[in-house]
Chains A and B, each alone.
Chain A
Amino acid sequence: MSDTATTLPPAAQRAPRFGVRNILTRYGSWIALVLLILVNLAITPNFATWQTFNVNLTQVCAIVIVGVGMTLVIATGGIDLSVGALMAIAGAIAPLIFLGKLFPLPHPAIGIALAFVVPVLIAAALGWFNGWLVTRLSIQPIIATLVLFIAGRGIAQVFTNGNLQVFNLPSFQFIGLGRVFGIPFQAILMIVIVAAAAWMLRRTVFGRQILAIGGNERAARLSGIPVAFVKQRVYLISGLLSGIAGLIVIARNSAADANLVGLGMELDAIAAVAVGGTLLTGGRATVIGTLVGALIIQLVRYTLLANGVPDAAALVAKAAIIVLAVWLQRQSQR
């Protein structure tokens, strides 16, 4: 906004700069992550243990999975505030299904299968609805997704009447509690989703189209890219991933509380995306960066907690990290 008045012509013949600043902006998040790990190895007791590793990994799973969808949405120049609410909806519906409260179940296995599929599909459909608002009614993404942010959690609460649904169903809870070769299943799921999204962004037509729209929507349209279609898909994916994250969270807690599932998730996810180095105005995105960003935020929190700093102070640190990361990003754009 403010630099519309600069006198610089299109950055035509400027040579790429290699300097401390360039390295900082390009690999800053990786450097920060490595530094954090080194610092922890030095000062935090019992840091280099399998348990610490797993604890930190499981803490970020839901954020990263939602963050992947958020990364894609932001890559098109949008934003999705409804992710937390969609998590609540998915988290509320799944137990209703496998506990047989919605309809009688012919067989428990069918109930569990449906409990995986239906909530995720509903969340995806709601995500698509966000995309529809954005593309067909040309409502700004922030407002379009605010609608479901407000109404979504209410819908989940109405479904469950605000009650806590407690359950103990190992076959369903595998998604949150299971382990494969000692690694939490949710972490594996997270890695798979991150890898798939990173691959998609780089290698597929769809991925390129997402970045092209975020990078220059007018040019993308003039190159024949179906802008509305791509955007709708992206919001749909964001909804779908929120649904999955919702299931993980309730499985982990052995309980679904529509009031709490995914609360504040939209902000955590956006923070992870921003710290990870994705351009918030769109056009440049890194899914792996989002993973790194979430890990940084989590590790800072862990470091502070493990060394006796109150959780609240970690929030202030998180704020500082976000501002610093975005500010560094801006410097590199100049």
Chain B
Amino acid sequence: MAPLLSMHGIDKRFAGIPALRSAELVVDKGEVHALIGQNGAGKSTMIKILTGYYRKDAGEILFDGRPVEFSSPQEAQRSGISTIYQEINLVPYRSVTENICLGREKRRFGLLDWSAMHAEARALLARFNIDIDVRRPIMTYPTAVQQMVAIARAIGFKAKLVIMDEPTSSLDEREVEVLFGVIRQLKEAGVSVIFVSHKLDELYAVCDRVTIMRDGRTIQVAPMDQLSRLDLVTSMLGRELSQVLHDGLDSANASGEAREPVLKVQNLAVGRKVHDVSFEVRPGEIVGLAGLLGAGRTESARAVFGADKADRGTIGFSGRENAISAPSDAIRAGMGFCSEDRKLEGIIPDMSVRENLTLALMPQLARRGIVDEARSRQIVDSFIKRLGIRCAGPEQRIRELSGGNQQKVLLARWLCMNPRLLILDEPTRGIDVGAKAEILGLIRELAGQGLGVLMISSELEEVVEAASRIFVLRDGRTAAELKGDAVNEQSVMAAMAHGHEDTRETVDV
């Protein structure tokens, strides 16, 4: 039987940088196909090319036996491809019915037939065992219901292929079961599903086959039941188990053991994603926070910095507990935070390197509110030299710099404050290999000088190499604490893959 969808040799470059390199994806009729990979592996680019959001540079797409090239999501939808996006894309103030039926309204005498539309919405939701007032605005319902509505909308289009990008991220277990029931119904009806998720349990529960992507390439395609969890994770992260063995270069950090932790987080809970997270950082120590996407790493870090409010738990910093309620408190207390999204939360694009670098330091650089330009220039020059920031000069706009150099400027923004703790969320994301090594080297050097570093990274190799201690988070809980020789990719992956649901396990030598 010919496959429903086959994408071959797909290439895509963004401004010259390849995002996909002859990637492949083949989905059979009535199959639930898992698509997995790290951040930046190319899954979403692949999906967006399929749905006409992006245009491919090369390759061919066959859907339902015909070559296709959709120019917009509408067109893909009309041909029978429905997509449920990761961020719920609904119109918050509008009713459930509208959110389900917009774009294919039912009409009578040229006007909208509300009763027919309400009935259809109710019928679609009934498949999910959901019985709600479909007239009320979608925003009045919990996220899980919203997610179900988004799915109902997608299914309502009589799709041949339904793409679900992390559909379960806001659902609880019971709701996930219901969703799986619906997926199985779809499957029986001959509808194919592409299922993107980072939760391994789910992949094994519902998917038939899996395509694993890495660095814009399709690495492996296999039936789910012939692939062990560990194989799946290693294949995804691109590390051969035999190849990795931690070479114990943490002697510089070992002295930190005895010192009092500069940061101590206990039983932290924040919003929906963080339930019970504990970790600590000692001066001069690099602590890694590992976990799959959605495990609650970023959310925990943001709460520590005061950018989000913690619901429960204690955050002790420099001996004081829960004293931080806003980033400005955290900064005053001696913390720095490099956000994972450089563009959205880091750089101020229209400002110069110098202005970006001294943004947090400015109040200290000023006398009676007037910036001491000479000192500012001095500091900026010294950091440009020390960190090897490549720019035309301190007055160049930061948006014109490469990602790696932008990141160095942001690092310098905190380093010039002489912080006691630096939180780095994905410090090497979107940065080329050479700059990566430089930045990691720098972080290690800083820790050697007594700085505490909390590092979040999706690149295992990086965390393992840099950190002397790793806390592994899983589904919003601290699943394991690894130290000493246990800091290696195997154990981290094991903790990420299996975790320890109830008891937190400390893996020691």
Check A-B contact in the complex, CB < 8 A.
yes
Contact, CB under 8 Å: B15 / A12:
yes
Does A215 reach chain B (CB closer than 8 Å)? Answer: yes
Question: Is A208 an interface position by the 8 A CB rule?
Answer: yes
B142 at the interface (CB under 8 A from A): no
Taking a contact as CB atoms under 8 Å apart, the answer to whether A12 and B331 are in contact is no
- Cβ-defined contact, A204 with B351, below 8 A: no
Q: A12, B328: Cβ atoms under 8 Å? A: no
Instruction: Give A206's nearest chain B residue, CB to CB.
Output: B369
Cα(A212)–Cα(B355), bound, Å: 9
Complex contact B14–A7 (CB within 8 A): yes
Which listed residue, B15, B343, B359, touches A208 by the CB 8 Å rule?
A: B359
- DSSP class of A's interface residues: helix, strand, loop or mixed? loop
Closest to B332 in A: A224
CA A220 to CA B326, docked complex, whole Å:
12
Question: Contact mask A193-234 → B, CB, 8 Å, 1/0?
Answer: 000000000011110110110011011111111100000000
Establish whether residues A11 and B400, one from each chain, have CB atoms under 8 Å apart when the complex forms.
Answer: yes
B42-83 contacts to A (CB < 8 Å): 53-55
Task: Please name all residues of chain A whose beta carbon is closer than 8 Å to the beta carbon of B349 when the two chains form the complex.
Answer: 11, 215-216, 283
Known: A211-B351, A215-B350, A219-B346. Contact between A224 and B403, CB under 8 A? no
B370: Cβ under 8 A from any A Cβ: yes
CA distance A223 to B359 in the complex (A): 7
Contact of A12 among B363, B370, B373, B401 (CB under 8 A): B401
Q: How far is the CB of A289 from chain B (nearest CB, A)?
A: 14
Contacts of B391-425 to chain A: CB distance below 8 A: 397, 399-403, 406, 413
Interface residue? B116 (CB, 8 A): no
Interface residues of A in 9-46 (CB under 8 A from B): 9-16
Are A205 and B331 interface neighbours, CB within 8 A? no
Q: Could you tell me the distance between the alpha carbons of A16 and B307 in the complex, rounded to whole angstroms? A: 34
- In the complex, what residue of chain A is closest to B373 when comparing beta carbons? A203
Decide yes or no whether B360 CB sits under 8 A from chain A.
yes
A320 part of interface (Cβ distance < 8 Å): no
> CB distance A224 to B370 under 8 Å?
no
Does residue B102 face the partner (Cβ distance < 8 Å to A)?
A: no
Closest residue of chain B to A199 (Cβ to Cβ) is B370
Task: Identify A10's interface contact among B327, B343, B360, CB under 8 A.
Answer: B343
Residues of B within 8 A of A11 (CB): 349, 399-400
Nearest chain B CB to A141 CB, angstrom units: 20
State the CA gap A7–B12 with chains docked (Å): 10
A223 CB, nearest partner CB in chain B, Å: 4
Q: How many A-B residue pairs have CB under 8 A?
A: 106
CB distance from B245 to the nearest CB of A (A): 35
Please give me the residue from chain A that is nearest to B337 by CB atom.
Answer: A222
Find out whether the CB atom of A205 lies under 8 angstroms from the CB atom of B371: yes
Cross-chain contact A5 with B53 (CB below 8 angstroms): yes
Determine which of B330, B348, B365 lies in contact with A220 in the assembled complex, contact meaning CB atoms within 8 Å: B348
Instruction: Check B327 against A203 for contact (C-beta < 8 Å).
Output: no
Cα distance A211–B349 in the bound complex, in angstroms: 11
Chain A residues whose C-beta falls within 8 Å of the C-beta of B362 in the assembled complex: 205, 208-209
Does B258 sit at the interface, judged by CB under 8 A?
no
Contact, CB under 8 Å: A204 / B345: no
Which residue in chain A gives the minimum CB-CB distance to B17?
Answer: A9
A233: min CB distance to chain B, Å:
11
A10, A203, A220, A224: the one within 8 Å of B331 (CB): A224
Q: How far is the CB of A219 from chain B (nearest CB, A)?
A: 5
| CB-defined contacts of B397 to chain A, threshold 8 Å | 16
Q: Taking the complex as formed, is A8 at the interface, i.e. its CB lies under 8 A from any CB of chain B?
A: yes
B363 — nearest CB in chain A belongs to which residue?
A: A205
Instruction: Decide if A212 touches B351 in the complex (CB within 8 Å).
Output: yes
Contact B371 A225 (CB under 8 A): no
Does B342 reach chain A (CB closer than 8 Å)? yes
**Contact: B348 with A204, CB < 8 Å?**
no
Known: A220-B348, A222-B307, A223-B413. Contact between A212 and B366, CB under 8 A? Answer: no
Whether B490 is near chain A, meaning CB under 8 Å from some CB there, is no
Cβ contact within 8 Å between B17 and A284: no
Contacts of A225 in B (CB 8 A): 328, 359
Chain A CB within 8 A of B347 CB: yes
B2 CB contacts on chain A under 8 angstroms? none
Contact of B369 among A204, A223, A224 (CB under 8 A): A204
Contact A222 B401 (CB under 8 A): no
Pairwise interchain contact B307-A8, C-beta atoms closer than 8 A = no
Shortest B331–chain A CB gap in Å is 4
Cα separation A71 to B444 with both chains bound (whole Å)? 44
- Bound Cα distance A308, B305 (Å): 64
**Those of B311-355 within 8 Å (CB) of chain A:** 327-328, 330-332, 337, 339, 342-351, 355
Residue contact B403 to A12, C-beta cutoff 8 Å: yes
Closest 3 pairs (CB-CB, A-B): A224-B331, A215-B348, A224-B328
List 13 contacting pairs A-B, 8 Å CB cutoff, sorted by A.
A5-B53, A8-B15, A10-B403, A12-B406, A14-B15, A16-B400, A205-B363, A208-B371, A216-B344, A219-B346, A220-B348, A223-B331, A283-B348
Interface residues of A (CB under 8 A from B): 5, 7-16, 203-206, 208-209, 211-212, 215-216, 218-226, 279, 283-284
Q: A9-B17, A222-B345, A224-B331 are in contact. List 14 more A-B contacts (CB 8 A).
A: A10-B430, A205-B370, A208-B359, A208-B362, A208-B371, A215-B348, A216-B347, A216-B348, A219-B348, A221-B327, A222-B337, A223-B359, A223-B360, A225-B359
